[in-house]
Copies of this chain bind each other. A is one copy, B any other.
Amino acid sequence: MANYNVKIFISYREGILDPQGVAVEKAAHSLGFEKVKNVRVGKYITMEIEASSKEEVENEIREMAKRFLVNPVIEEYTFEITENSQ
């Protein structure tokens, strides 16, 4: 068994209204950051998973995404896995 560090990035699909992104963009503009556009605010989830292979970790992530982490109608996700050397 090895320990893996996992990063999951969840964002709204294109075309889905993202109120937090709109709020951040407005704040940026009103503070003088006028060249900022297309702001989207999503979730950045990190975790550790114990597994016997990277493939097993991938399967766990996909299964968790499907079961409860991601709403596929409005969200999409990507992930990164690194083996923890400790």
Contact = CB atoms under 8 A, between A and B. Distances in A.
Contact of A41 (B11, B24, B44): B44
Contacts of A45: 21, 24, 39-42
Interface string A53-86: 0000000100110011100000000000000000
**Main SS of chain A's interface residues?**
strand
Interface string A34-51: 011111111111111111
B35 A49 contact: yes
Residue among A10, A31, A39 with max Cβ neighbours from chain B (10 Å): A39
A68 B38 contact: no
A9 B44 contact: yes
A51 B36 CA distance: 10
